[in-house]
A and B are shown apart, each in its own frame.
Chain A
Amino acid sequence: MEQERSNTPHYWIRAIILLGYTLYITQLVSSGNIIYYIAPRMTPYVKYASILLFGMAMVQVFLALQSNREDNDEICDCEPIPERSLIINIGIYSLFTVPLLMGFLMPDTVMGSSVASMKGMNLGADASISQNLVKVTTNTTSVVNEDDDALKEKFPADPYTEDYALLAMKLYIKEMIRIEEEGFMELLTSIDIYIDNFIGKKITLKGFVYHEDDMLPNQFVISRLAMQCCSADTAPYGIMVESDIANNFAEDTWVEVTGVIGKTLYNNNTIMKIDADTIVTTTASDNPYIYPYFEDFVNLGN
């Protein structure tokens, strides 16, 4: 018995780490800062996970307290803690501690243009939409007036882009197109697919300023980061803005741009742009991210 290795420190260290994760998740949820890391539809899972982690931590404490008892009636000895050198053990437990330390010690920050430049800006349409639409009008069960055939003529669609066509028609008849946070990418995509119809229309939206080296001095991109599940899969989406005062706005400044839709050439691609009438500095959006819209497009653009 003299030489027998004690598992007690392992149980304690594990208890501390598990409890650390429980506390960290609790802190993120209660401060609301969890939206910096995880999309809202994933947060319930993380919350439940913290409860399980707490339970596991308590069991580890129980095991630690029990491990030095003489009679040693462990609940189960089938998976003993594997025997490893001290260095490897330290390494393994450090791996678990690093995210905790970073999480507790460093402030939660919004990712901005630095991430956008790493991931590559998506200008205009959601790239998965094919732009060469077949010029066949489907019988769209429309939210727009049924008799307005001229309008439907302008927005040809195949079955898969029908939703976008309907949304575009809805936007087309508006005096001023407002791009909201909800459905941000979908609204932009609708406009971009039928860009020729929208030239000269008024538009307004909010986002952060993003520059790339090869842009002209009178250009910047007004951008938002879109997230699917977690911040590792974020992708920046934006629209080119042209204005004489574009230079006055530093990277990552939150602005509200109002202007007229047009087209411009950038990196040999024709893309959508806004000729800005007004650019106003504004407060950052409460939620740093936008999310893909999972519901029916009918609810958008109202």
Chain B
Amino acid sequence: MRSVKSLGLLHMTLLFILGFIVMAWSMGGFSLIRLPESVAIQSFKTMFISIVLEAVPFILIGVIVSSIMQIFVSEKWIQKFVPRNPLLGILFACILGVIFPVCECGLIPIMRRLISKGMPLYVAVVSILVGPIVNPVVYVATYTAFRSRPEMLYARMGLAIAVGTVIGLIVYFFVHKNQLRHSKVTLYNGSDREMTEHEEQHRRGNKILAVFEHSGSEFFEMGKYLMLGSVITAAIQTFVPRADLVDIGQGPVISHFFMMGFAYVLSICSTSDAFVAASFVNSFSMGSLLTFLVFGAMLDFKSTLMLLSVFKTRFVLLLSGLVISVVLIGSMIVERLYLGN
């Protein structure tokens, strides 16, 4: 045991820092210090902070829902509600996505928790892929951005569900091993006997407090990937001119690949990417914009980092490969048959 004295000192020091920050803030002391200014650094700062601020509410919803599930939802409940039939399971996953209308930042922690509680992997995967697209918020955003081309809205929603179904079935039939990066023991304290003890503990303790403690840990666990992703996204947005990118991305097939890469590095939330896509209508085909809208919401820089925190690297690679190929093929078919230009 550490000596009580040194611990007391540690508490004092950190409490002092905390107090100092609050004092300095309340006296407006922060505005006295100024870092060197440059337009590019300023824009970088504005974008970085805005990406973080936009994501924080959603990641908070994610970690809090996940923590509530950890404490209140039992494995039995999951087994009772998740359908046995894979197609019904996929439908269930899509409905889950609608129930939690958050983007992948919020969905990934929730799904991690549900998998560790015994939800089948394919259901979670479909939710993570389809959820960020098939939900009311994104529906309205896409409708507004493509007001005069509503076929884009239907193509986006339809293709997302189709891609989710195909990938869900592939995962259902071919992936059987546990794909979680952390074993259930770390996430969930393992065997049934320990479980009951654990639940006992919660019953005694204050459940609300427990939810907050879990949320705190998980916020830092998931948030670090969000921060890293936001830094890189903001840097690309600030320092790489779009026009340069657009020039390399023309041509019937290459434009699809280009739009995937573009969506990947931009890492814009699915609630606002339709707006960005709309500004490319004159320079890109509708098909490649559809690729942008479906692929970008399913897989991007930020979400890859978050997926890596949940799943084994090999599984993330497999999933990425599947998303790339299925979205590409699907989008080209839709372009040929439905969008027609």
Contacts and interface: CB of A to CB of B under 8 A. Distances in A.
B60 A118 contact: no
B95 interface: no
Interface in A1-26: 1-2, 6, 8-9, 12-16, 18-21, 23, 25
A45 B60 CA distance: 10
Looking at chain B's contact residues, the main secondary structure is helix
A104 B52 contact: no
B209 to A, nearest CB: 5
B14 interface: yes
Contact of A12 (B14, B213, B218, B272): B14
A64 to B, nearest CB: 7
B241 A59 contact: no
A14 B34 CA distance: 26
Contact of A96 (B7, B201, B224, B276): B224
A260 to B, nearest CB: 25
B241 A232 contact: no
Given A12-B14, A37-B46, A105-B30, A76 B201 contact: yes
Nearest to B64: A52
A183 to B, nearest CB: 13
A95 B64 contact: no
Contact of A120 (B11, B218, B246, B271): B246
A52 B188 CA distance: 24
Interface in A48-97: 48-49, 52-53, 55-56, 59-65, 68, 70, 75-79, 81-82, 92, 95-96
Interface in A196-253: 228-233, 235
A106 B209 CA distance: 35
Interface string B201-240: 1100110011011111111110110011011011001111
Contact of B25 (A27, A45, A53, A294): A27
B218 to A, nearest CB: 7
Contacts of A2: 1
B268 A233 contact: yes
Contacts of B237: 118-119, 232
Given A2-B1, A109-B46, A127 B53 contact: no
A173 interface: no
A68 B4 contact: yes
A245 to B, nearest CB: 25
A99 B233 CA distance: 14
Contacts of A98: 227, 231
Interface string A123-156: 0001111100000000000000000000000000
Contacts of B238: 115, 118
Contacts of A63: 213
A79 B228 contact: no
A2 B17 CA distance: 27
Interface size class of B (residues with CB under 8 A): 35 or more
Given A49-B60, A292-B275, A231 B209 contact: no
Contact of B51 (A14, A23, A103, A230): A230
B213 A230 contact: no
Contact of B53 (A8, A23, A230): A230
A281 interface: no
A128 B281 contact: yes
Nearest to A25: B53
A98 B210 CA distance: 29
A120 B279 contact: yes
Contact of A6 (B2, B22, B145): B2
Interface in B225-265: 227-228, 230-231, 233-234, 237-243, 246
Interface in B146-187: 146-150, 186-187
Interface string B256-294: 000000000000110111011011111000000000000
Contacts of B53: 25, 28, 34, 37-38, 46, 230
A106 B271 contact: no
Given A96-B220, A109-B46, A232-B237, A23 B21 contact: yes
A194 interface: no
A12 B275 CA distance: 41
Contact of B33 (A65, A99, A105): A105
A110 B220 CA distance: 30
A16 B276 contact: no
A128 B214 contact: no
B147 A8 contact: no
B184 to A, nearest CB: 11
B198 A75 contact: no
B213 A95 contact: no
B209 A59 contact: yes
Contacts of B39: 114
B14 A118 contact: no
15 contacts: A14-B216, A20-B21, A28-B53, A38-B53, A38-B54, A56-B212, A76-B198, A78-B214, A99-B48, A104-B30, A106-B34, A120-B279, A127-B280, A163-B147, A230-B51
Please provide the 9 A-B residue pairs with the shortest distance between their CB atoms, ordered closest to farther.
A12-B14, A45-B57, A37-B50, A230-B50, A230-B54, A228-B275, A231-B50, A229-B272, A160-B148
